[in-house]
C-alpha cells in the first residue's frame, strides 16, 4: 500500500533517472558517501545510508525527501553523465520546482496511515517515553552552563559520519573529571525530550552496578532505568523501541563500572543495545584509554563500533565568561571583589599555563571562584591538590554553628562521615548514601553543607556536588586513620583485586600527600600489578614536583608492554617539571618495544617536543629521530613498514610548531637521509622564512640531488625560491640565470618544482617570458623544449596574447628554431583571431620546416572543417613525400576533432595508400579514431587485431579507442567483445580494461554477452599464462571475471578453471632469481589472493580451498621474496579468520611438514602472529616448538612473542 502518494510519485520519478544511469540504492549510497564539495572535503551525509535510500524508493516512503538529499543525488548523476553547466543548472531548477510541488501536494492531501501489523499483546503497561530516574550531570542550579551547542553537534556529526555504512556506533564522550561530559549528555537528553520523537533511557552508572557478565549487568542497569522492575535493560530498550518507534540509551559515568573484569560484559551489552537504537555514554579519559581506545583488541563485540569524542577544555574567553556567570549567580553581593578576581584571573591566563589548565575544567573553576573571589585574586601557584585543600578549609572546615564545641567543625565531621559511608573497599564506591545510613548527629552539619552547595540532597540520599570532590573527601577519611592504618591497608588490598573500581580513589589519595617520603611510602603500598594501576600511579607521580615518584613507576613498568601502554600517552602530557624524564622514557620505549608502542611513543614525543625548553629542543629532537631511524628494520620485520613513515613525520612536524632555529634545523637536516619522504617535506618547509647562514643553505641544497618529497605546487615554488634567493646556493650550483636553474639535472621529481618556480618568475618578470619563447625559436634540444613548454603552459592563461603579439612581430625563425613550435602553440589558449594571425605568420615556414609547421597549423585550425579542408588541399598540392605525409596525417589523427576526421577520412586514408595500403601504426591510429562511427574502420581493425602478426599497430589502435571512445552500445559493443581474444598483449589488455570499466560498458551490455565474455576470458587467460605474457593482462582479465561474477555469479566449474590458470602462473623454478620471475611470483599470488577472497567462497567448499592452497604451497617456495611472503601471510590470516577449519590445517597439518620451503613456514608464522593479535590462542607459540620450524622462523616468533609479553 502507498502511504504517501505525493512522496511516492516524486521518488519514483527520481528513481527513473537514477536507474537510467545504471545505479540502484546500494550503489547510489556508495556514490553519495564519496561525493565531494567544491572545497574538496567529504560532506557529512548521515541520512544517505542504504536503508534510507531503499525506504525512499519504496511504497512505504513516509515523506518527500529532504531537498539537500535530492540535490546530492543530482550531483552524482551529473558526475556520471558528465553533464555540462547549462544542463546541471536546468536540472537543479527543474527538480527544485518538482520538490516544491510535491511538498504542497503532501500538505494538501496528507498521507495514508500505514496499516500496522498486529503486534503480540504484552501485559506490561506502556512506559513513559523518557526514562530518566535521576537527571544527568551536576545540579544545574549550582553550575551555570556556558552554551556550547557546537560540541554536541560535532559529537553527533562524527558519530553519524562513521555510521554511514548502516551500522550504529557507540558515541563515547571522554575527558577529565569535571570537564562537562555529564552536562553535555544532559543537554542531549533535554534535546531529545523537546523533540518528542522516540524514547530515551538515561542512566547514571553507580559503582555497585559493576558486574562480571552481561546478564548481571543487564539486570543492574534495568533496575536503575526502571526502579522496582525485574526487566533487564535490553528488554526495556526493546519494549521502548516497539512502543515509540525508536530509542536512545544515554549512559553516564561508565568509568565507575569499567574495569578489566567487567569489560567483556559491558562490551557485549553495548553492542546488543545498538540493535535497538543509538547509544551515547560518558567516560573519564583514563578508563576509556585503558579499556575502550582499541576495542578490536580489548572489547571485540565493539570492534569498529566505537566513536570517541574528546571533550575540549574551556577556552580562555569561555573561562572568563563561565566565571562571570558563576560569580553573578552565587556571589552577587561582592561586585568589586568579583571584578578584581576576574581581572586577576584574566591577567594570569596568558603566561601561566598550569593555572589556565586548572581553570579550564568547570568544576575546578567553580571551586576557585568560591574560595578566592572574595579575596579579589587567584594565586598563580595554585594546583588541583592545593585547590581542593583550600576549598575544604573554606567551605567545609569553617565552623558554621556557633553552638558547636570550640574548634570542632560539625560540617567537616558530617562530610567525613558521608565520605566514609561511600567507601566500601570490598565492593567499590557509592556516589549516594541513604539519609537513614548517616548518624543523626551529623544532620545539622549536612544541612549546612547543603546550604553551601557542597552536598546535594535528593531521592532520600546525600551526595557530594561532584565525583572529583567526593574522591577528595574519601581520601581525607582514609587518611584520618594514618598512612599505615586499617583503612589504607584495606584499600591497598582491594586495589590488588582484578575487578576493582577503586583506582580513582587511589589516585585521589596519592594526590593529597605532600611529603615526598610519605608519598613514596603510600605508593609502595599500592602495587603496580595491572595496566590500570600503572596508569593511576603515573597520573599521581606526574602531579608531583619531584622526579623520584615518576622514575619509580617507569622502572616498574618499563619492560612490560601491557602496563607501559597506558602510561605512554600520559608521558606525552607531562608537566614542565617532568619533560626530560618523559622524553627519555619515550625514546627508550621506541627503541625497545613493538609497533603499537613505538607508534604511541612517537605520538607522545610529538606532543612533548614543542614544550621542552628551546635550548634543549635540538638535542631532544636528535635523540628521538635517532631512535626512530634505528628501529626501521625491526618494525618492517614486524609488518610495520607503513607505520614507520609516520614516526619521523610526527617528530619533525614539531619544527613548524616551535619556530625552530638553526640548531634544530641542522639536526633535522643531518637526519634527512634516514627519515621518511613525508617527513622530508616538513624539514624543507620549516626552513622557509628562517634566516640561516649561507653554509647551512648550501648544505640544505644538497637535497636537490635526492628525490623530491611529495609537496603541493605552491610549496615547491617557495622551496625553490628559498634556494634561488640564496647567493651561495646559486654560485655553488652554477645558476647565474633562470635558464640554468630550469634546465639543471636535479634529483627525481624536482623538475616540477623547477617548472613551477620558473613560471612564478615569468609572472613577475617580462624578460623571463620573452626568454622562454626566444630560446625555443633559437633552437634548443627536445628535453629543454619540453621544460620550456611546460613553463609556458603554466602561464598560458594570462600571457597568450602577449606571446602571440611577440611571435608575429618577428620573422619566422629558421628551421633549427621551430622544433618546439607545435608544442608551444598547443599550450597557448588562442582565440580564432589569434589563430588566424599565427597561421599567416607560419605559412612561410612550410617550405623549410614542414614537419613542424603543418602540425602547428592543424592545431590552430581548431574545429573548423572548412579550414582543415583548405589545409589538406594546400598540403597535397606540395606533393609531400610518403614519410612527411604519414607524419602530417598523424598530426590530424591526434589533434583534429571527430567531425573533422570523419569529414576528411577518405582523403586521409588515400594519403596512406587507400583501402589496400600498408598496415602502419599511423594508419592504425587513424582507424582507431574513426572506429566509433565508421564501420569500415572497425572492419579494418578486425583484420589487424585478429589476423595480423605485428603487435605495434594493434596496440596503437586500441590506445586511440580507449582514449577517445565513450560508451560502447549495440554494434560497437558486439564488435569490441569479438576482439577480446586478440593475440596482441597490449591490445588485449586495453580491450579488457574497456569492457571492465562501467563508464564504457554498462551492466546491460555485459549481460548481453555474458557467456561469450566468460568463455573468452578463460581462453585468453590460459594463452597468456602459456606464453608468459605481461602480468598486467592477467590481472585485468581477473578483474573482468570478478565484474562478471558480481553481475551474475560464476559457476563452480568456471571458478575452478580460473583458479587453476592463476596457479599455473607460478614459474617452474623453485625460487625467483631474476626480476622478471619476482614480478611473476608477486602478480600470481596477488591474483590467487583476490580469487580466494572473492570468487572461491560459496562456489568451492572450504576444504577444497584449503586443498588447492596446499597444492600451491608445497610445490615451490612462493614466499621467498619479502613482499610476496607478506602477501601470503595476509592471505593465510584472512583464511584463518573466515574458515574455522583453517587454523588446525595451517598449524597441525601444513606447518609440521618438512618438505615446505622456509619462506612458506615464515608466511604461516607471520599469519598466526597477526591472527592472534585479535584472538590469542597460543598457536604461534606452539609453532616455535615444532621440529619443522626453521631457525629463522623460530627467531622471528621468539621476537614477536617476547614483544607481546
Indicate the range of 528-542, 692-706, 1082-1096 predicted with least confidence.
Answer: 1082-1096
pLDDT value at position 744? 94
Q: Give the integer Cα–Cα distance in Å for 752 and 769.
A: 18
Q: Which of 224, 215, 223, 226 is nearest to 126 (CA)?
A: 226
pLDDT value at position 243? 87
- Higher pLDDT pick, 97 / 891: 891
Q: Give the integer Cα–Cα distance in Å for 146 and 897.
A: 65
104 pLDDT higher than 70: no
Read off φ and ψ for residue 416, nearest 5 degrees: -70, -35
Q: What is the mean pLDDT of residues 913-926?
A: 82
Burial class (CB in 10 A: 0-12, 13-18, 19+), 1077: middle
Q: Distance between alpha carbon 347 and the CA centroid of its chain, in Å?
A: 40
Instruction: Transcribe 873-902 into DSSP letters.
Output: HHHHTT---HHHHHHHHHHHHHHS-HHHHH
SS (H, E, C) 1062-1128: HHCCCCCCCCCCCHHHHHHHHHHHHHHHHHHHHCCCCCCCHHHHHHHHHHHHHHCCCCCCHHHHHHH
404 pLDDT higher than 60: no
pLDDT value at position 360? 86
Q: What percent of the chain has pLDDT over 70?
A: 86
- Higher pLDDT pick, 294 / 592: 592
**Residue 339: left if φ>0, alpha if ψ -120 to 50, beta else—which one?**
alpha
pLDDT value at position 1191? 83
- Max Cα–Cα distance, the chain, nearest Å: 126
Q: Give the integer Cα–Cα distance in Å for 269 and 263.
A: 10
Q: Give the integer Cα–Cα distance in Å for 503 and 1027.
A: 69
pTM of the model: 0.66
Please give the helix or strand (H or E) that residue 423 lies within, else none.
Answer: strand 423-424
Place of cell 565508421: 934
Read off φ and ψ for residue 417, nearest 5 degrees: -65, -40
Q: Which residues contact 204 (CB under 8 A, 6 or more apart)?
A: 134, 136, 182, 224, 252, 253, 431
Edge-to-edge strand ranges of the sheet holding 455-458: 433-434, 461-464, 455-458
Q: What percent of the chain has pLDDT over 90?
A: 30
**Residue 1178: left if φ>0, alpha if ψ -120 to 50, beta else—which one?**
left
pLDDT value at position 106? 62
Q: What is the mean pLDDT of residues 11-21?
A: 74
pLDDT value at position 261? 75
Q: Give the integer Cα–Cα distance in Å for 299 and 1174.
A: 10
Reduced to 3 states (helix: H, G, I; strand: E, B; else coil), residue 278 is strand
Q: What is the pLDDT of residues 1033-1081, one digit of tens each?
A: 988 998 999 899 888 888 888 888 888 888 787 655 555 556 666 666 6
Q: What is the mean pLDDT of residues 134-149?
A: 55
Q: Which of 526, 464, 457, 471 is nearest to 504 (CA)?
A: 471
For residues 215-254, one letter each, b for 16 or more C-beta atoms within 10 angstroms of the residue's C-beta and e for the rest, the string is eebbbbbbbbbbeebebbbbbbbbbbbeebeebbbbbbbb
CA angle 998-1085-1102, nearest 5°?
90
CA dihedral 1071, 1072, 1073, 1077 (to 10 degrees): 150
Which three cell numbers, joined as nine digits, stand for 336?
568589586
Indicate the range of 486-495, 591-600, 1089-1098 predicted with least confidence.
Answer: 1089-1098
Do 245 and 114 touch, CB atoms closer than 8 A?
no
For residues 795-820, one letter each, b for 16 or more C-beta atoms within 10 angstroms of the residue's C-beta and e for the rest, the string is bbeebbeebbeebeeeebbebebbbb
151-165, 596-610, 700-714, 1099-1113, range with greatest mean pLDDT: 700-714
Place of cell 618577428: 810
Query: Treating both helix axes as pointing N-terminal to C-terminal, what angle do 467-479 and 410-422 enclose, rounded to 10 degrees?
Result: 100
Place of cell 573482468: 1040
- Higher pLDDT pick, 1114 / 1009: 1009
pLDDT value at position 1122? 53
Question: Count of CB atoms within 10 A of residue 865's CB?
Answer: 16
Q: Give the integer Cα–Cα distance in Å for 1169 and 897.
A: 59
Read off φ and ψ for residue 676, nearest 5 degrees: -75, 160
- 949 pLDDT band, cuts 50/70/90, is confident
Q: What is the mean pLDDT of residues 1102-1131?
A: 70
pLDDT value at position 111? 45
CA dihedral 559, 564, 569, 574 (to 10 degrees): -70
Read off φ and ψ for residue 306, nearest 5 degrees: -120, 130
Q: Give the integer Cα–Cα distance in Å for 843 and 837.
A: 10
Q: Which of 1095, 1043, 1035, 1105 is nearest to 1065 (CA)?
A: 1035
Q: Which of 1145, 1154, 1126, 1137 is nearest to 1097 (CA)?
A: 1137
Q: Give the integer Cα–Cα distance in Å for 1205 and 1201.
A: 7
Do 139 and 456 touch, CB atoms closer than 8 A?
yes
CA dihedral 63, 66, 71, 73 (to 10 degrees): -60
Complete domains list, the chain, with CATH: 5-109 (no CATH), 130-312 (3.40.50.300), 317-472 (no CATH)
Instruction: Transcribe 145-189 into DSSP letters.
Output: PPP-HHHHHHHHHHHHHHTTTS---EEEEEESTTSSHHHHHHHHH
- 976 pLDDT band, cuts 50/70/90, is very high
Read off φ and ψ for residue 1069, nearest 5 degrees: -65, 145
Place of cell 617507569: 554
Question: Count of CB atoms within 10 A of residue 407's CB?
Answer: 6
Q: What is the mean pLDDT of residues 160-179?
A: 80
Return mean pLDDT, the chain. Answer: 83
370-374, 635-639, 730-734, 1107-1111, range with greatest mean pLDDT: 730-734
How far separated are the first and last CA of the chain, in Å rounded?
Answer: 62
- Kind of pairing between the strands at 247-252 and 130-131: unpaired
- Higher pLDDT pick, 1180 / 408: 1180
Q: Running DSSP on this structure, what letter comes out for residue 36?
A: B
- Higher pLDDT pick, 612 / 137: 612
410 pLDDT higher than 50: yes
647 pLDDT higher than 50: yes
Query: Treating both helix axes as pointing N-terminal to C-terminal, what angle do 85-109 and 5-20 enclose, rounded to 10 degrees?
Result: 160
Do 428 and 210 touch, CB atoms closer than 8 A?
yes
pLDDT value at position 7? 72
Q: What is the mean pLDDT of residues 275-295?
A: 87
Q: What are the start-end ranges of the E strands in 534-687?
A: none
pLDDT value at position 166? 63
Q: Give the integer Cα–Cα distance in Å for 209 and 505.
A: 17
Do 496 and 514 touch, CB atoms closer than 8 A?
no
Query: Treating both helix axes as pointing N-terminal to C-terminal, what angle do 1031-1047 and 1052-1063 enclose, rounded to 10 degrees?
Result: 170
Do 544 and 507 touch, CB atoms closer than 8 A?
no
Place of cell 581581572: 343
Which three cell numbers, joined as nine digits, stand for 410?
560539625
- Kind of pairing between the strands at 428-429 and 433-434: unpaired
Q: What is the pLDDT of residues 552-606, one digit of tens each?
A: 999 999 988 888 988 999 999 898 889 999 999 999 999 888 788 888 899 999 9
pLDDT value at position 683? 94
407 pLDDT higher than 70: no
Let me know how long the chain is.
1205
Q: Which of 720, 650, 651 is nearest to 685 (CA)?
A: 720
pLDDT value at position 1028? 83
Read off φ and ψ for residue 458, nearest 5 degrees: -160, 155
373 pLDDT higher than 80: yes
The contacts found for 50-59 with CB under 8 angstroms, 24 or more apart, are: 50/25, 50/26, 50/166, 51/166, 53/25, 53/28, 53/29, 54/25, 56/11, 56/25, 57/11, 57/12, 57/14, 57/15, 57/25, 59/1, 59/2, 59/3, 59/8
Edge-to-edge strand ranges of the sheet holding 278-284: 130-131, 199-204, 247-252, 278-284, 170-175, 306-310
Amino acid at each position: 500500500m502507498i502511504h504517501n502518494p505525493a512522496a511516492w510519485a516524486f521518488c519514483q520519478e527520481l528513481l527513473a533517472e537514477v536507474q537510467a544511469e545504471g545505479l540502484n540504492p546500494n550503489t547510489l549510497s556508495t556514490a553519495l558517501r564519496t561525493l565531494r564539495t567544491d572545497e574538496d572535503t567529504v560532506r557529512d551525509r548521515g541520512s544517505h545510508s542504504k536503508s534510507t535510500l531503499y525506504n525512499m524508493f519504496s511504497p512505504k516512503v513516509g515523506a518527500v525527501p529532504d531537498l539537500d538529499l535530492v540535490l546530492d543525488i543530482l550531483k552524482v548523476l551529473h558526475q556520471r553523465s558528465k553533464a555540462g553547466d547549462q544542463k546541471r543548472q536546468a536540472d537543479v531548477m527543474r527538480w527544485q520546482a518538482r520538490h516544491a510541488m510535491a511538498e504542497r501536494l503532501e500538505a494538501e492531501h496528507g498521507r495514508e496511515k500505514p496499516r500496522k501489523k498486529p503486534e503480540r499483546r504484552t501485559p506490561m503497561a506502556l512506559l513513559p517515553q523518557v526514562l530518566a530516574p535521576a537527571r544527568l550531570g551536576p545540579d544545574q542550579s549550582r553550575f551555570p552552563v556556558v552554551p556550547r551547542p557546537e560540541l554536541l553537534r560535532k559529537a553527533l556529526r562524527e558519530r553519524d559520519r562513521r555510521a554511514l555504512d548502516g551500522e550504529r556506533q557507540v558515541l563515547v564522550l571522554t575527558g577529565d573529571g569535571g570537564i562537562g561530559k555529564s552536562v553535555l549528555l544532559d543537554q542531549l537528553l533535554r534535546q531529545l525530550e523537546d523533540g518528542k520523537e522516540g524514547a530515551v533511557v538515561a542512566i547514571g552508572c553507580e559503582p555497585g552496578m559493576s558486574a562480571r557478565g552481561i546478564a548481571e549487568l543487564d539486570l543492574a542497569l534495568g533496575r536503575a532505568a526502571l526502579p522496582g522492575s525485574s526487566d533487564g535493560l535490553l528488554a526495556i530498550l526493546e519494549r521502548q523501541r516497539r512502543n515509540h518507534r525508536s530509542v536512545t540509551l544515554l549512559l553516564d559515568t561508565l568509568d565507575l563500572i569499567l574495569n578489566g573484569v567487567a569489560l567483556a560484559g559491558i562490551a557485549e551489552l553495548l553492542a546488543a543495545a545498538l540493535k535497538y537504537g543509538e547509544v551515547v555514554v560518558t567516560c573519564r579519559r583514563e578508563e576509556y584509554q585503558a579499556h575502550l581506545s582499541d576495542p578490536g583488541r580489548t572489547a571485540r563485540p565493539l570492534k569498529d563500533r566505537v566513536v570517541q569524542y574528546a571533550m575540549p577544555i574551556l577556552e580562555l574567553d569561555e573561562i572568563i565568561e563561565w566565571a562571570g556567570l558563576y560569580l553573578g549567580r552565587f556571589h552577587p553581593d561582592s561586585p568589586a571583589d568579583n571584578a578584581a578576581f576576574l581581572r586577576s584571573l584574566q591577567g594570569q591566563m596568558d603566561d601561566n599555563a598550569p593555572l589556565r589548565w586548572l581553570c579550564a575544567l568547570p568544576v575546578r573553576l567553580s571551586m576557585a571562584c568560591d574560595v578566592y573571589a572574595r579575596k579579589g585574586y587567584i594565586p598563580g601557584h595554585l594546583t588541583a591538590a592545593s585547590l581542593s585543600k583550600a576549598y575544604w578549609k573554606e567551605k567545609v572546615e569553617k565552623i558554621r554553628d556557633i553552638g558547636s564545641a570550640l574548634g570542632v567543625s560539625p560540617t567537616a565531621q558530617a562530610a567525613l562521615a558521608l565520605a566514609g559511608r561511600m567507601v566500601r573497599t570490598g565492593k567499590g564506591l557509592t556516589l549516594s548514601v541513604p539519609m537513614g545510613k548517616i548518624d543523626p548527629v551529623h544532620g545539622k552539619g549536612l544541612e549546612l553543607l547543603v546550604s553551601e552547595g557542597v552536598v546535594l540532597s535528593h531521592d532520600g540520599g546525600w551526595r557530594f556536588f561532584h565525583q572529583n570532590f567526593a574522591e577528595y573527601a574519601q581520601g581525607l577519611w582514609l587518611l584520618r586513620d594514618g598512612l599505615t592504618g586499617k583503612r589504607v591497608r584495606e584499600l591497598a588490598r582491594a586495589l590488588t583485586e582484578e575487578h576493582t573500581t577503586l583506582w580513582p580513589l587511589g589516585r585521589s589519595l596519592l594526590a593529597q600527600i605532600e611529603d615526598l617520603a610519605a608519598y613514596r611510602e603510600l605508593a609502595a603500598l599500592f602495587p603496580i600489578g595491572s595496566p590500570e594501576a600503572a596508569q593511576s600511579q603515573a597520573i599521581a607521580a606526574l602531579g608531583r614536583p619531584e622526579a623520584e615518584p615518576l622514575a619509580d613507576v617507569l622502572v616498574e613498568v618499563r619492560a612490560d608492554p601491557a602496563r607501559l601502554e597506558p602510561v605512554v600517552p600520559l608521558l606525552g602530557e607531562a608537566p614542565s617539571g617532568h619533560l626530560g624524564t618523559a622524553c627519555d622514557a619515550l625514546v627508550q620505549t621506541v627503541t625497545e618495544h613493538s609497533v603499537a608502542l613505538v607508534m604511541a611513543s612517537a605520538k607522545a614525543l610529538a606532543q612533548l617536543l614543542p614544550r621542552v625548553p628551546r635550548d634543549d629542543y635540538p638535542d631532544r629532537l636528535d635523540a628521538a629521530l635517532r631512535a626512530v631511524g634505528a628501529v626501521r628494520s625491526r618494525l618492517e620485520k614486524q609488518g610495520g613498514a607503513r607505520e614507520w613513515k609516520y614516526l619521523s613525520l610526527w617528530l619533525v612536524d614539531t619544527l613548524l610548531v616551535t619556530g625552530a632555529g638553526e640548531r634544530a634545523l641542522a639536526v633535522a637536516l643531518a637526519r634527512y637521509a634516514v627519515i621518511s619522504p613525508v617527513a622530508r617535506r616538513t624539514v624543507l618547509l620549516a626552513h622557509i622564512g628562517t634566516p640561516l647562514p649561507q653554509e647551512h643553505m648550501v648544505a640544505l641544497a644538497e637535497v636537490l640531488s635526492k628525490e623530491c618529497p611529495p609537496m603541493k605546487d605552491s610549496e615547491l615554488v617557495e622551496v625553490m625560491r628559498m634556494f634561488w634567493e640564496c647567493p651561495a646556493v646559486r654560485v655553488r650550483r652554477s645558476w647565474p640565470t633562470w635558464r640554468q636553474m630550469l634546465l639543471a639535472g636535479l634529483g627525481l621529481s624536482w623538475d616540477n618544482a623547477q617548472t613551477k618556480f620558473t613560471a612564478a618568475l615569468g609572472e613577475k618578470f617580462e624578460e623571463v617570458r620573452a626568454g622562454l619563447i626566444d630560446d625555443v625559436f633559437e633552437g634548443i634540444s627536445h628535453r629543454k623544449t619540453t621544460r620550456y613548454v611546460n613553463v609556458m603552459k603554466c602561464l598560458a592563461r594570462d600571457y597568450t596574447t602577449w606571446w602571440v603579439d611577440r611571435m608575429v612581430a618577428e620573422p619566422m625563425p629558421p628551421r633549427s628554431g621551430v622544433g618546439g613550435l607545435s608544442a608551444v602553440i598547443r599550450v597557448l589558449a588562442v582565440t580564432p583571431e589569434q589563430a588566424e594571425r599565427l597561421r599567416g605568420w607560419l605559412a612561410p615556414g612550410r617550405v623549410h620546416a614542414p614537419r613542424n609547421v603543418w602540425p602547428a597549423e592543424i592545431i590552430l585550425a581548431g574545429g573548423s572543417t572548412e579550414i582543415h579542408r583548405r589545409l589538406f588541399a594546400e598540403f597535397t598540392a606540395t606533393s609531400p613525400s610518403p614519410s612527411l605525409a604519414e607524419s602530417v596525417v598523424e598530426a590530424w589523427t591526434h589533434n583534429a576533432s571527430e567531425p573533422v576526421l570523419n569529414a576528411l577520412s577518405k582523403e586521409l586514408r588515400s594519403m596512406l595508400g587507400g583501402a589496400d595500403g600498408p598496415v602502419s601504426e599511423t594508419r592504425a591510429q587513424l582507424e582507431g579514431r574513426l572506429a566509433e562511427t565508421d564501420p569500415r574502420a572497425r572492419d579494418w581493425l578486425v583484420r589487424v587485431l585478429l589476423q595480423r602478426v605485428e603487435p605495434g599497430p594493434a596496440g596503437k589502435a586500441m590506445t586511440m579507442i580507449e582514449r577517445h571512445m565513450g560508451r560502447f552500445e549495440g554494434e560497437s559493443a558486439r564488435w569490441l567483445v569479438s576482439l577480446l581474444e586478440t593475440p596482441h598483449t597490449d591490445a588485449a589488455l586495453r580491450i579488457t580494461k574497456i569492457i571492465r570499466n562501467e563508464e564504457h560498458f554498462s551492466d546491460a551490455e555485459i549481460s548481453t554477452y555474458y557467456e561469450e565474455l566468460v568463455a573468452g576470458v578463460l581462453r585468453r587467460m590460459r594463452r597468456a599464462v602459456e606464453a608468459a605474457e605481461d602480468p598486467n593482462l592477467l590481472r585485468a582479465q581477473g578483474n573482468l571475471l570478478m565484474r562478471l561474477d558480481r553481475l551474475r555469479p560464476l559457476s563452480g566449474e568456471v571458478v575452478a578453471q580460473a583458479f587453476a590458470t592463476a596457479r599455473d602462473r607460478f614459474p617452474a623454478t623453485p625460487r625467483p632469481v631474476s626480476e622478471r620471475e619476482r614480478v611473476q611470483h608477486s602478480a600470481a599470488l596477488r591474483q590467487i589472493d583476490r580469487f580466494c577472497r572473492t570468487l572461491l567462497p560459496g562456489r568451492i567448499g572450504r576444504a577444497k580451498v584449503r586443498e588447492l592452497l596446499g597444492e600451491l604451497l608445497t610445490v615451490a617456495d612462493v614466499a621467498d621474496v619479502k613482499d610476496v611472503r607478506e602477501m601470503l601471510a595476509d592471505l593465510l590470516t584472512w583464511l584463518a579468520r573466515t574458515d574455522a577449519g583453517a587454523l588446525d590445517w595451517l598449524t597441525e597439518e601444513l606447518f609440521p611438514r618438512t618438505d615446505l620451503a622456509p619462506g612458506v613456514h615464515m608466511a604461516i608464522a607471520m599469519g598466526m602472529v597477526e591472527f592472534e593479535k585479535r584472538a590469542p590462542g597460543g598457536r604461534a607459540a606452539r609453532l616455535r616448538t615444532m621440529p619443522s620450524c626453521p631457525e629463522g622462523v623460530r627467531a622471528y616468533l621468539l621476537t614477536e612473542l617476547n614483544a607481546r609479553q
